Structures are given as C-alpha cells and as structure tokens.
Amino acid sequence: MLIDLFLDYLRTERNYSNRTIMGYGMDLKEFEAFFVEIDEKQRWETVDGDLVRQWVMHLMDTVNGGLKMQPSSVNRKLSSLRSFYRFLLIRGYVKVNPMLRIKGPKRKKALPFFLRESEMDRLLDGEMFDDDFCGRRDRMILEMFYSTGMRLSELIGLDDVDIDFSALCIKVTGKRDKQRLIPFGDELKEALLAYIKIRNEELPVRLSNALFVRKNGERMYSGLVYNLVRRNLSKVTTLRKRSPHVLRHTFATSMLNHSAELESVKELLGHSSLAATEIYTHTTFEELKQIYKQAHPRA
C-alpha cells in the first residue's frame, strides 16, 4: 500500500514519467521481497540501516548473467529508497529514516584513454597531412594539444598575442576565466612559426585575431576541431574515444612516464586540485604492470 501511495505521489504531484515511476516501483518491490524473505513479519516501518546495508551486500554479491551488479546500479536503487523514505517521513508513516547514514558503493573511476608515444610520433612525423594551409593547420592543432595538454575551449580561444616566442610560453584562459602560462619547446616554436607564415600568406586579411582560423579567416569552432582531431587520430589508433580530451590525457600520461612531478602536471593542466590529476598515476601504474608481466620470467 505504501509503495502505491508513493508512486501515485510521483505521478500526480511530481509529474514523473511512467518509465521513471516504473523504475522506482521495481526497486522498492525488490527490496520489499528481500526483507520479507528474511523475516515475513518485517515491515517498511521497522526497516533499519543494518537491513539496508545487508541488501547492498546482497546486490553486490548477486550474479546476473555472469556479472555482479555495478555500483551505479546499486546506487540507483538506494536513491529510490531514499526518495521513498523521505516521502514516508514527511507523510508521517515512519518516525525514523533508516537511509540517513547509508552510503552507496564507490564507483570505480574509468581510466582515461590515451595514445602511445609511438602512435603520436607516427601521426606527427609522418606524411599524413596535406601540404596546404588546412593540412598544416590541422597538424599544428594536434601538435598543440599533445605538446601543451590544453583543453578544446582553451585552444579555440587562443589569439596570436597569447604566444610569447621570446619567453617560450602560451597564455591560456581556462575554466572560470582562470589564466595560466604553459611553457613550450623549440620544436613547437618552429612548427608554430611555420604555420603562422603560411596562414598569413594564404589569408592576408583575416576576420579575427585568432591563432587558428578557418579558410574564410574566422575563428575555429569546437565541432570543427573535434571532428578533425577524431578523423586524424583514426589514422593511428583504434581507440573508441578519439577526441581532443584524449590528447590532453596523452600529454599528462607522457609527462608522468618521463618522471614529471604530479604537482607540475597539475599546474600545466590547470587542475584546481591534485585529486583530478591523480587518475593519471593509475594509468602509468597499469602500463608499468603490463611491462612487468611481459618482461619478468615469473610474472
């Protein structure tokens, strides 16, 4: 009865979709079947936190089709329970909310996709780009992402004045308009100067001060850059994800693989905390484990 009252509330007062209401109903009935099987005298009003935790362990141990339930699925079911008990508490059906101290299982963070150095060398050092303005621009964009780790929005926003060739640094404007300086080397300097030379020759009159422009002289936009990155990365990798952010991941991974300090990589990427950068240490450690398995005779 309580489940039906809650679902009616979602339908009439919260205007939830039928699909969402059905999902809530299935989660609640599943938990009800669980606690009734343990004790047929158990009721929603008598459920406590220990019983909910027992259900979580049951869900994590249950094998469906050969796979254990993922933390995201368990957390969704717990979310249904939390909403239900808030409703029961407000309506006076229960006096204590058993969900107050319940924490769901942590989601495993997916390791970032990245290209190997050999793949990037093959792409940038080979003859995969046309020798016209667009070909040189596209190659320059890929090299810029790989050499600096900047975000897509940061690259699009670059103006010529943001490149300091004497100090060998680039000023980028990141999230929340926070600016930072990214150093670069002689190789990128020569590539940038060559690109700017052909750009100025091909487009003597431009419609913006942008570093990277289209053939009509206007600033590049995100969809265009995303597609050219995806198209060109497809030449050297079969990764499912082939985006500018993958090149950002590749930059960070390469830096750490070559003994860069984590704090330094954090500053170069423009992360606000080390927590966002630490995922790359897991990536390099996974690679290290693979090398160990391949190289050690008893691995």
77 part of the active site: no
Q: Exactly one of 11, 116, 122, 245 is catalytic; which is it?
A: 245
What one-character DSSP code corresponds to residue 158? -
Burial string for 9-25 (b: 16+ CB within 10 Å, else e) reads: bbeeeeebeeeebeebb
Q: Exactly one of 151, 199, 214, 266 is catalytic; which is it?
A: 151
Q: Exactly one of 91, 107, 175, 197 is catalytic; which is it?
A: 175
Contact between 93 and 45 under an 8 Å Cβ cutoff? The reply is yes
151 part of the active site: yes
What's the rounded Cα separation, in Å, for the pair 109 and 279?
Answer: 8
9 part of the active site: no
What's the rounded Cα separation, in Å, for the pair 136 and 165?
Answer: 19
271 part of the active site: yes
245 part of the active site: yes
The separation between CA 290 and the C-alpha centre of its own chain, rounded to angstroms, equals 23
Element housing 57 (H / E): helix 49-61
Q: Exactly one of 214, 242, 248, 249 is catalytic; which is it?
A: 248
Token pair listed for 251: 């930059």
Contact between 133 and 123 under an 8 Å Cβ cutoff? The reply is no
What one-character DSSP code corresponds to residue 157? T
95 part of the active site: no
Q: Exactly one of 85, 146, 195, 280 is catalytic; which is it?
A: 280
Nearest CA to 148 among 226, 273, 244, 262? 244
Q: Exactly one of 11, 53, 180, 271 is catalytic; which is it?
A: 271
Question: So which residues are the catalytic ones?
Answer: 151, 175, 245, 248, 271, 280
